[in-house]
Structure 1
Amino acid sequence: WMEDFGEYAPPDAVYSDGTHGVVEHNQYVRQYHCTAYEKTKNHPRPVLRFARSGFTGSAACSPVVWNGDPSTTWDFDGLASAVRNGITMGLSGVGIWGSDIGGFFAITSDTLSPELNARWVQFGAFSGIMRNEADGYSVSSAHRPQVIDPDQIDNWRRYSKLRTQLYPYVSAAAADYRRTGLPMMRAMVLDYPNDSTAAGLEDQYMFGDDLLVAPVIKPGQSSRKVYLPKGKWIDFWRSFSYDEPTGAYDLTGAGTKNGNGWRTLPAPADQIPLLARAGSMITTISPDVTTLSLFGSDNQQVVDLSDRKGRTLFAFPRGQSSDRFEKSGKLASTESDGSWKLKINDTESRPWRIKASTAVMKDPFKVRCVKLNGRRLSAAAWNATASQVEVNLPSKGRNLTLLFSKKSCG
């Protein structure tokens, strides 16, 4: 439900309690959204309401916000502005935010170009809400690029499938916002408050705990400069493969970058610069899941999330780190001399596929032994190369502890 408007309280109006419009202006928008919340909170089907207006306190009633009606341009009031808007809204306490992908208004000579639409899709995949704008207002009668156009559909598929697979990660970021107030799109200063360069950045951000996103906001770019804070970073596109027929992403290596400085990263037309922190553990689901299928279960072609209970964990162990998945799942990683321990605390027993890059470790090694809850895993359950290890587990309980060693089990 697009909960539009709510901004307007005429200054000469007098409300039922005698309050004048000048005073009521900011209170009205909060009451506007909280009234809608009260009317819909007990609906048998959850109602997703998203708003463009708000004031202090309204996020409790209407936490999902979009940026209104941006222009179909690259610069002022367009894509570049949307990126800054998302970052600064997070700093203002609004943590679940999205934009009209492609923009809305084309009231000058500017019309939405295929390149701009594609770049906006890429940015939208790493916003709190990924929502396409198929329509808008334009003084021109020119065709508005759609994500289903032949020159757009591959880009849309690539990023909508990635967004789907990141569901456990995105869900955890939303839960973090509700628990701590940290937004899903985080200004770099929130994670790196002592880094003066990071503090001034307005065109890159952290998405959740571990992903650094640097949207392309200028036309014709095939690369862009990205600031990497101190530490090691994994270049997503140099570390993952993409299978177009299935839409699946898989870990194939670990293209690492050293932080504490500027780096120029490739940004061809189908890639948004995207990096993961060393030490991160990113939980994913199958690309064929439709996460809202609970309310469309009569369609037998829909794959429900409950039909795909298994999770895939992509891990980049380094030192000691922790992560979350979905609303309350927890992960802990500890690198020791010649070993790596991974703990998974889940809300239910489920199959797990774990794929980790041991090359990111402070002291890399080839895994020669894997134990689950203190017992040696059979060789059929795992395999390792010099730089990676993969484990496939059937449901083994909610709490799992895996120990990976460079020494043979004996």
Structure 2
Amino acid sequence: MNLRFSDSKGGFELRFGAHVVLRHSVQCPSVVIAKGDPQVAMYRGNFRIDDAPSGRIAPTEWRADGADMLLLDAGEPAVRLRLDGDALVVDALRGGYDRITTRFHAEPDEAVWGGGEQMSYLMLAGRRFPIWTSEPGVGRDKSTELTRIMDADGMAGGDYWNSNYPQPTFLTSRWLAVHLDNFGYSVLDFSDPAAHCVDYWGAQARFEFFAAEGPREIVGQLSARFGRQPALPDWAIGGAIVGLKSGTSSFDRLERFVDAGAAISGLWCEDWAGIRETSFGRRLFWDWTGGARSEQRYPDLRARIAALNARGIRFLAYANPYLAVDGTLYEQAKAEGHFCLRQDSDEVYLVDFGEFDCGVVDFTRPETRDWFADHILGREMLDIGIDGWMADFGEYLPTDVRLADGSDPMEAHNRWPVLWAEVNAQALASRGKTGDALFFMRAGFSGVQAHCPLLWAGDQCVDFTRHDGIGTVITGALSAGLVGNAYSHSDCGGYTSLHGNVRTEELMQRWCELAAFAPVMRSHEGNRPDDNLQYDSTPELLACFARWSRVHAHLAPYVLHLSNEAQDKGLPAQRPLFLHYPDNRGLFTVQDQYLYGADLLVAPVIEQGVEARHVILPGEGPWRHCWTGEDFAGGIHDIPAPVGMPPVFYRPDSAFAPLFGEMAEVLNR
């Protein structure tokens, strides 16, 4: 066992191997407990969570109790610190105390990363991050007018820490990682430079520790802990997935992409089960069946899917874990007991998703998981030839529902995305489709990695804004990759268009340049497709998408190599620069460029109107410019970056250098 208590001057320490992870003294108690008084409000997946804790106890004295350590208040035990292998269990011993704050030791200027998929900041030091899966918000910047408008409209503006996929795991530049092995509400607080604080809402918190010689090894350990994804299907990395949602005309529009010379691996029609028009925009009809609405919008869908398959093109669809009250599946699900219920009656708990109500499918019930996996994802989708889907949502579980297994919804809320991922993975396994069919999710929490083969970055605004625009997909991929998610991608072109915010040609072009250097390249028409440019709106945009889809397809052998690395070592495809260059502290905060594997460096243009940018080339070099062939030494360089030529570099000594050297020809073919 690497974890042990030891005496220190004026107190005691908890050490993990050579690392001090916790230090307790009279002057600085390591644990504080209190009684919580929470207030939780939810509106359409946006949460306001407040607390008014009372009876705060910061026990200063201590005594050993066998292998445990007791923290005393007025001579009586208040907290027990118990070692469980390489984990620390913190128990609040006073009745009614259900708030635990644990202060972990921090070294001066220690860098901190993690927190799940964080969209605004890769480096977490200096800030607090509530860990609660939710809608991330629109705008996510309290200084902007859009965020203020959305806050006034259903608490929907968001902030820097809001995330579909948070996770109570952090790793530091001591190459140490700490994971809170609980699902309840928590806060990672790095605002005090002397301590890494974790607030947990519960009477017991369990912390796991990991340590290694460097960042790649610690990331590999975390990947092994949470579960490694199956390799991506060859078809998913061998071309672009075109997202169209105009009913049967989507098939005709797909031919424009083919004729333009695009490398196409899939057609994604999220409207396969029907549509619903709302004030937010064009929404889907949440009734996951190939019934009358599907037949009306996509006649003879099974035959059309087969025809695409004969051309090497897969068909993808959409599903989420809710059923609309006016759909055909709702009554069946209600009759068979598949929904979460109200706490005060046996009525179905309905959630307003924006001008329509839905029942929440209760995945704590084994029979319900089986029904959804087999009846909906299996019979209605996989069995008609659908080879993939967006497994949307998972963040909306209200905190006042009644669940079949009797669990506390405050604890079950963060567990919900993991259950949703398990159901999707179960469906693939039931049809022998694991590693062939593909679903992708935005919601997540600890353990989703073992089941979800691919993340997508959620609903970015169709702009270049700092906290909700194109650049956030880089930060999201890098942060999620550090805690065991090997594969991430985004809606190419962005998604959220509200209050006059619409796509520009420049944004569409720049997003293609970014999307080509992700494991999966997939376009999206957005929430208001009729108000926005699409990739088939103009010949120029169509040609742009086609060019970068060919680059993406050309890199498939390299992405397969990265997939093998993910399986063997747990390394993500998209990596922060410090992962391979940990001795350079100047790289610890870099989040606007990334290593694609060890041998490609991608520095996308994510600012409007920019035609050159600073690029950090780590190490000594040389790094070769993919489009000009010019070699650069390591360091910071000003690189021209006109539209169509984003800064991308490769290592000339890479085994894949011949492949990389052909990219310019492929792009301009």
Q: Which residue identity lines up with residue 453 of structure 2 in the other structure?
A: P
1:207 to 573, 585, 596: 596
- The aligned residue for residue 302 of structure 1 is none
**1:265 aligns to 2:654 (yes or no):** no
Cα distance, 1:134 vs structure 2: 2.2
- The aligned residue for residue 453 of structure 2 is 63
Q: Secondary structure at the match of 1:41?
A: helix
For normalisation by structure 1, the TM-score amounts to 0.63
Q: Deviations over 1:292-316 (max 9, x none)?
A: xxxxxxxxxxxxxxxxxxxxx4489
| 8 Å contact from structure 2 (residues 626, 660) kept in 1 | no
For residues 660 and 492 of structure 2, the distance between their equivalents in structure 1, rounded to whole angstroms, comes to 31
Q: Secondary structure at the match of 2:402?
A: coil
For residues 202 and 118 of structure 1, the distance between their equivalents in structure 2, rounded to whole angstroms, comes to 21
> Superposition pairs for residues 324-363 of structure 1, below 5 Å?
none
- The aligned residue for residue 379 of structure 1 is none
> Superposition pairs for residues 2-13 of structure 1, below 5 Å?
2-13=390-401
| 8 Å contact from structure 1 (residues 50, 65) kept in 2 | yes
| 8 Å contact from structure 2 (residues 457, 476) kept in 1 | yes
| 8 Å contact from structure 1 (residues 185, 205) kept in 2 | yes
Cα distance, 1:135 vs structure 2: 3.4
Q: Deviations over 1:261-302 (max 9, x none)?
A: 21011111111100002321217xxxxxxxxxxxxxxxxxxx
| 8 Å contact from structure 1 (residues 72, 106) kept in 2 | yes
2:551 to 155, 162, 168: 162
| 8 Å contact from structure 2 (residues 438, 453) kept in 1 | no
Q: Deviations over 1:85-111 (max 9, x none)?
A: 222221232221011111111113321
For normalisation by structure 2, the TM-score amounts to 0.39
**1:256 aligns to 2:645 (yes or no):** no
Cα distance, 1:79 vs structure 2: 0.4
| 8 Å contact from structure 2 (residues 496, 526) kept in 1 | no
Q: Secondary structure at the match of 1:237?
A: coil
Q: Which residue identity lines up with residue 137 of structure 1 in the other structure?
A: R
Q: How many residues align structurally?
A: 270
- The aligned residue for residue 349 of structure 1 is none
**1:235 aligns to 2:609 (yes or no):** no
| 8 Å contact from structure 1 (residues 281, 315) kept in 2 | no
For residues 152 and 161 of structure 1, the distance between their equivalents in structure 2, rounded to whole angstroms, comes to 14
> Superposition pairs for residues 383-394 of structure 1, below 5 Å?
none
| 8 Å contact from structure 2 (residues 555, 659) kept in 1 | no
1:129 to 496, 520, 527: 520
| 8 Å contact from structure 1 (residues 90, 185) kept in 2 | yes
Q: Secondary structure at the match of 1:32?
A: helix
Q: Deviations over 1:15-59 (max 9, x none)?
A: 222111001112222111112211222425532100111111111
Distance 1:82 1:108, change over 3 A: farther
- Stretch moving more, 156-165 or 84-93: 84-93
Distance 1:268 1:193, change over 3 A: same
Cα distance, 1:148 vs structure 2: 5.9
- The aligned residue for residue 474 of structure 2 is 83
Task: Report 1 or 2 for greater relative contact order, CA contacts < 8 Å, sequence distance ≥ 6.
Answer: 2
Q: Which residue identity lines up with residue 258 of structure 1 in the other structure?
A: A
For residues 238 and 228 of structure 1, the distance between their equivalents in structure 2, rounded to whole angstroms, comes to 16
1:281 to 655, 663, 666: 655
Q: Which residue identity lines up with residue 121 of structure 1 in the other structure?
A: C
> Identity, % of aligned pairs?
30
**1:186 aligns to 2:575 (yes or no):** yes
**1:150 aligns to 2:539 (yes or no):** yes
- The aligned residue for residue 335 of structure 1 is none
| 8 Å contact from structure 1 (residues 192, 199) kept in 2 | no
- The aligned residue for residue 255 of structure 2 is none
- Stretch moving more, 129-138 or 170-179: 129-138
Q: Which residue identity lines up with residue 118 of structure 1 in the other structure?
A: Q
Distance 1:235 1:135, change over 3 A: same
Q: Which residue identity lines up with residue 264 of structure 1 in the other structure?
A: D
Cα distance, 1:175 vs structure 2: 2.0
Q: Which residue identity lines up with residue 462 of structure 2 in the other structure?
A: T
Q: Which residue identity lines up with residue 119 of structure 1 in the other structure?
A: R
For residues 111 and 51 of structure 1, the distance between their equivalents in structure 2, rounded to whole angstroms, comes to 25
- The aligned residue for residue 260 of structure 2 is none
| 8 Å contact from structure 1 (residues 214, 272) kept in 2 | yes
For residues 24 and 196 of structure 1, the distance between their equivalents in structure 2, rounded to whole angstroms, comes to 39
Cα distance, 1:178 vs structure 2: 2.3
Q: Deviations over 1:182-207 (max 9, x none)?
A: 11110111111111122220100001
Cα distance, 1:114 vs structure 2: 0.5
> Superposition pairs for residues 93-108 of structure 1, below 5 Å?
93-108=484-499
For residues 237 and 108 of structure 1, the distance between their equivalents in structure 2, rounded to whole angstroms, comes to 38
For residues 110 and 98 of structure 1, the distance between their equivalents in structure 2, rounded to whole angstroms, comes to 22
Q: Secondary structure at the match of 1:129?
A: coil
Q: Secondary structure at the match of 2:533?
A: coil
Cα distance, 1:209 vs structure 2: 2.0
| 8 Å contact from structure 1 (residues 2, 51) kept in 2 | yes
1:216 to 605, 609, 616: 605
| 8 Å contact from structure 1 (residues 126, 213) kept in 2 | yes
- The aligned residue for residue 438 of structure 2 is 48
| 8 Å contact from structure 1 (residues 98, 128) kept in 2 | yes
- The aligned residue for residue 21 of structure 1 is 409
Q: Secondary structure at the match of 2:449?
A: helix
| 8 Å contact from structure 1 (residues 95, 128) kept in 2 | no
Unaligned runs of 5+ in 1: 240-254, 284-312, 317-354, 356-410
| 8 Å contact from structure 2 (residues 395, 417) kept in 1 | yes
- The aligned residue for residue 421 of structure 2 is 33
Cα distance, 1:150 vs structure 2: 1.0
Q: Which residue identity lines up with residue 540 of structure 2 in the other structure?
A: D
| 8 Å contact from structure 1 (residues 113, 145) kept in 2 | no
| 8 Å contact from structure 1 (residues 174, 184) kept in 2 | yes
Distance 1:85 1:64, change over 3 A: same
